[in-house]
A and B are shown apart, each in its own frame.
Chain A
Amino acid sequence: MNKYFSTKLSIFVFTAPALLLFTVFCVYPLLPEIWMSLHDHDGFRNLGFVGLDNYREVLSTPSFWTAHKNTYLIVGISLLLGLPLSMMLSLFMDVQTPRLRRFFKTAAMFPAILSVTVVAQIWLAFYEPNWGLFNSILHSIGLSDWTHSWLTEKKTVMPSIGLSFLWQYIGLNAILFYTGIKTIPKDYYEAALLDGASFVQVCLKITIPLLQNVIKYVLILSTLGSMAFYSHVRVMTAGGPGDTSRTVIYQMYYTAFDTSQFGKGTAIAVIFIIQCLVISFIIQRFVARGKLEF
């Protein structure tokens, strides 16, 4: 039986449907997209071949670079702030009593299961500059100088939106880390305890190294998820004011749909896909390459 299932043909047979679906729905749509990016296209009519003009124009548009700056800021917030916080939260959950752990798990998952629109509306209310929660708190503790029009000032708009994103998904990542922690054999911890290792040492020497596969998974998920950041921006600021809070995906949508320049919009999409592929490759190539067995 095992021999039968391990033949190349069997492997092909069992993966063929998935491969076919992937090809039809993921790979094939790229081809007309690349074709469209080389044409002047308004979404309905092909107005002629323009070669690489769309790419040249897109790359010379300031909004394109603003969108990149914003996208990578969100990626940075998600990875440099979000992942360590999620990890800490998972380690914290691990040392709680079962009852408290249940509470924290539910609380951590709650924002992730909410619709983005709901989350965005909640944070819109927090950021409202005249009577929103944040400015009201700052006024009440005598820090009126720190108040801002959070979603309309250039300096504050992206970090503010990023915070809402962080809040929504930090718990989900924590649960993923926690699930990974539970797969680590207890023997390692008992041995460390006998050797007199501190909590921090246990985390740094046992938990985190043995979580590398989960970390890799969360890293890819968070990086690509942050790069595809769109919905929060759409609901909270519509990319504004002006183009201040547009991300790459938003800029692509805006260019294609709002301005009816589908050729340029697809050029942005192609550039974005290349970036995602490169980043995925880098993570796959350099993060957690060793095979872990325990």
Chain B
Amino acid sequence: MKTNSMAKAAILMAGALLVLSACGSGNENGNSKPSDSPSVAAGSSEAAPTESAKESAGTDGKKIKMRVITITTDENRNNIMDKYIKPKIAEALPNLEVEFEPGGGGEDMANKLKTLNASEDMPDVFWNDAGYFTPLKSTGSIMDLTPYISQDGFLSKYAVPDALKHVDGKIYSLASGADTYFTPLIFYHKDMFEQAGVQVPKTFDELLQVSKTLKGKGMVPAVTPGKDGWGPKLFLLQQMIQIGDPQAMSDLVGNKTDFDNPSVQEGAARIEKLVKEGVFPDGIANLDYGPAMEMFTSKKAAMLMMFTWELPNLAKDETVDFFPFPAASDKYDPTKNVQFWGSPLNGYAVSGKTKHPEEAVKLAEFLAMADALYFETTGAPIALQTGNPPADKSPLMQKFVDWYNPIPNKIASMALNSLDARTSAEMSTQGANLLTGEYAAADFNKAMNKLWSENTWFKN
């Protein structure tokens, strides 16, 4: 009896182990490191199928499976996916079976990729961002695309190929180049301004006065996404500093100054003032991107502080116009200084551990081209040449380009070019605090200065 029991126990244990081993992670993509240079010449990845794509299809007729994670937070992204990627990918890349996973955006996207990286389950192609590039690079999870895109000629499609290079001289991401033209502006409804009898403000004080008048007429003066400190981190603090002293902002982005600088400190004080003067609606610190957009497009709010990636959508409403952030001192001139979003790190990247590097690069090229084809139709300027004649620009887009292009001092975004992961996250926290109106700018500056001194971005 005892022997029987022992035997049964052993069988049960073995069964349990079998179950466990079956549950273990099996990485279908494999972790083989791709070669540094492509072995198959690759062609264009535009909407038409390519010879090389056909050639690289499995000899057994089976399609190569690829996983893509990309940002899925705004209408532009949804349009690109629905109109340019999904309908055309089977024709353009017939050898691939692509599974798209929604990545969300911001910290959600960053955390998702960091988690996948830690668990060695990176997708073949993903949207890269400066905010999470460093850990991906340090673990070999992002591939240098230079040899691939040089050989297949995709690099030559860029108006300024050098703009794709990271500081180490390598190319990690492919984008349409439209993000160079993304800058924060104040969009407004002309009819709401007329109704309230106010003019476009030229100074920060006028902005406060206009907001007061709009509020007095029962309108919400301005909105911007405030949840998790989105607005303050990505542009509001930078705008509030540079409208007082653009040089101080440039210095901060380049780590030549810190939050002890009076001009920098005044930036936070201006945000506090905007909140306390009632420029934003109650609850701005918890207002998400979608609801903020909805408040403006449904004309509950007269102004929207937002990047120009929303311009093509907002331009559909003829009552919408824009103006740059108004000056808070004589040092700032909106025709001479502007914040730009672009970073060579933002765009479609390929996992350094993909089993099919050449196909993955083709896929990244296709996705970047889809972005370009979409933004091209909106009239937005792009750096990736599609071969199509330039599309007609909407009057609002034309107005934007006419204002933006001649500006001599384009200041890089602090959020993309100056913050390590911790400083970035803590700045979100501090920025959201500032939007509550219960947190003094002095406290913000004190906390930020400590964080800034511990920021490792410039030490890498």
**A residues 101-159 touching B (CB-CB < 8 Å):** 128-130, 149-154
Contact yes or no, B422 A44, CB < 8 A: no
Cβ of A129: which chain B residues have Cβ within 8 Å of it? 281-283
List chain B residues, Cβ under 8 A from A154: 436, 438
Known contacts A240-B285, A254-B425: does B5 contact A10 (CB below 8 Å)? yes
Cβ of B256 within 8 Å of any chain A Cβ, yes or no, is no
Using an 8 Å CB-CB cutoff, how does the interface string of A6-45 with B read, 1 for contact, 0 for none? 0101101100110011001000000000000000001111
Given the known inter-chain contacts A12-B9, A151-B283, A152-B436, please indicate yes or no for A45 contacting B429, CB distance below 8 A: no
Q: With A17-B16, A130-B283, A240-B228 given, is the CB distance from A44 to B107 under 8 Å?
A: no
Asked if A237 is at the interface (CB within 8 A of a chain B CB), the reply is: yes
On whether the beta carbons of A130 and B422 are closer than 8 Å, the reply is no
* Contact assessment for B286 and A151 in the assembled complex, using a CB-CB cutoff below 8 Å: yes
Q: Could you tell me if B430 and A261 are in contact, using CB atoms closer than 8 angstroms? A: no
Q: A residues within 8 A CB of B432?
A: 240-242
A199 within 8 A of B: no
Complex contacts, B5 vs chain A, CB 8 Å:
7, 9-10, 13
Contact call A16/B118, Cβ cutoff below 8 A: no
The reply to whether B436 and A259 form a contact with Cβ atoms under 8 Å apart is no
Interface residues of B in 257-314 (CB under 8 A from A): 281-286, 300
Closest to B115 in A: A257
Interface members, chain B 412-444 (any A CB < 8 Å) = 420-422, 425-426, 428-430, 432-433, 435-436, 438-439
Chain B residues within 8 Å of A240, by CB? 227-229, 285-286, 429, 432-433
The A34-70 residues at the B interface (CB cut-off 8 A) are: 42-45
**B163 at the A/B interface (Cβ < 8 Å)?**
no
| Bound: A238/B281 CA distance, A | 19
Cα distance A254–B432 when bound, in Å?
A: 15
Instruction: Find out whether the CB atom of B281 lies under 8 angstroms from the CB atom of A257.
Output: no
Any B CB within 8 A of the CB of A195: no
CB contacts between A and B, total, < 8 Å: 112
The chain A residue sitting closest to B2, CB to CB, is: A9
Chain A residues whose C-beta falls within 8 Å of the C-beta of B300 in the assembled complex: 130
Q: B114, A43: Cβ atoms under 8 Å?
A: yes
Complex interface bits, B101-129 against A, C-beta within 8 A gives 1, otherwise 0: 00000010011001101100000000000
Contact, CB under 8 Å: A16 / B12: yes
**B22 interfacial contact with A, CB 8 Å:** no
Q: Does B59 contact A (CB under 8 A)?
A: no
Q: How far is the CA of A153 from the CA of B275 in the complex (A)?
A: 13
Asked if A260 lies at the interface with its beta carbon under 8 angstroms from chain B, I say: yes
Minimum CB–CB distance for B155 against chain A, Å: 29
- The A-contacting residues of B in range 1-23, CB under 8 angstroms, are 1-2, 5-6, 8-9, 12-13, 15-17, 20
Cβ distance B382 to chain A, nearest Cβ, rounded Å: 32
B117 to A44, Cβ gap below 8 A?
yes
Question: Smallest distance from the beta carbon of A121 to chain B beta carbons, Å?
Answer: 10
Instruction: State which of B118, B283, B425 has its C-beta within 8 Å of the C-beta of A259.
Output: B425
Flag whether A243 is at the interface (Cβ < 8 A). Answer: yes
Shortest CB distance A166–B (Å): 20
Contact residues of B: prevailing secondary structure: helix
CA distance A45 to B118 in the complex (A): 10
Do A259 and B426 have beta carbons less than 8 Å apart?
A: yes
- In whole angstroms, what is the CA distance A137 to B130 when docked? 45
Q: In the complex, which residues of chain B have a beta carbon less than 8 angstroms from the beta carbon of A243?
A: 429
B1 cross-chain contacts in A, Cβ below 8 A: 4
From A43, A149, A257, give the contact of B283 (CB < 8 A). A149
Does B363 belong to the interface (CB within 8 Å)?
no
Q: Which of B138, B228, B229 contacts A44 (CB 8 A)?
A: B138
Does A258 count as interface, using CB distance less than 8 angstroms? yes
Q: Complex Cα distance A285/B12, Å?
A: 34
Indicate with 1 or 0, residue by residue over A253-294, a CB within 8 angstroms of chain B CB atoms.
010011111000000000000000000000000000000000
Q: For the complex, is B135 an interface residue (Cβ under 8 Å from A)?
A: yes
User: In the docked arrangement, what's the CA distance between A150 and B436, Å?
Assistant: 11
Judge whether B283 and A152 touch: CB under 8 Å.
Answer: yes
Residues of A within 8 A of B117 (CB): 44
Q: Do A242 and B111 touch across chains, with their CB atoms under 8 A apart?
A: no
| Chain A proximity of B165: nearest CB distance (Å) | 24
* Cβ 8 A contact of A20, one of B16, B138, B220, B439: B16
**Chain B CB within 10 A, most for which of A4, A13, A24, A242:** A242
Tell me, yes or no, whether B398 is within 8 Å of chain A by CB. no
Residue of A nearest to B425 (CB): A258
Which residue of B135, B430, B436 is within 8 Å of A43 (Cβ)? B135
A-side contacts of B199, CB under 8 Å: none
* Chain A residue nearest to B132 in the complex (CB): A260
Contacts of A153 in B (CB 8 A): 436, 438
C-alpha gap A155/B257 in the complex (Å)? 36
Closest partner residue, chain B, to A253 (CB atom): B111
CB-CB under 8 A from A261, the residues of chain B are 422
| Cβ–Cβ < 8 Å partners of B2 in chain A | 9
- A242-B115 contact given A16-B12, A130-B281, CB 8 Å threshold: no
What's the nearest-Cβ distance from chain B to residue A158, in Å?
13
Give CA–CA (A277, B282) in the complex, Å.
41
Give the one of A45, A128, A238 with max B CB within 10 A: A238
Q: Is B377 engaged at the interface, CB distance under 8 Å to the other chain?
A: no
B421 touches A258 (CB 8 A): yes
Given A129-B281, A130-B282, A261-B422, the answer on whether A242 and B436 have CB atoms closer than 8 Å is yes
Which parts of B345-381 form the interface with A (CB within 8 Å)? Answer: none
Most A CB contacts (10 A, CB to CB) among B139, B282, B286, B436 go to B286
Q: Which residues of B contact A44 (CB under 8 A)?
A: 117-118, 135, 138-139
Please give the distance in Å from A56's CB to the nearest CB on chain B.
16
A257 in complex: contacting residue of B9, B114, B220, CB < 8 Å: B114
Q: Are B118 and A17 closer than 8 Å at their CB atoms? A: no
Given A42-B135, A43-B118, A44-B118, check contact A21 B283 (CB 8 Å).
Answer: no
Q: B19 to chain A: closest CB distance in Å?
A: 8
Contact (Cβ within 8 A) B16 A242: no
Q: Which residues on the A side are within 8 Å of B107 (C-beta)?
A: 258
> Least Cβ distance of A47 to chain B in Å?
11
Residues of B within 8 A of A7 (CB): 5
Given the known interface contacts A7-B5, A21-B16, the answer about A242 and B439 at a Cβ–Cβ threshold of 8 Å is yes
A238-B228, A240-B429, A241-B286 known; 15 new pairs, CB 8 Å cut-off, are A13-B5, A21-B16, A44-B139, A128-B283, A130-B220, A130-B282, A130-B283, A151-B283, A237-B227, A238-B227, A242-B432, A258-B111, A259-B421, A260-B422, A261-B422
A residues lining the B interface (CB < 8 Å): 4, 7, 9-10, 12-13, 16-17, 20-21, 24, 42-45, 128-130, 149-154, 236-244, 254, 257-261
Question: What are 14 pairs between A and B in contact, CB < 8 Å?
Answer: A7-B5, A9-B9, A13-B8, A16-B13, A17-B15, A20-B13, A44-B135, A44-B139, A152-B435, A153-B438, A154-B436, A238-B227, A240-B229, A259-B426
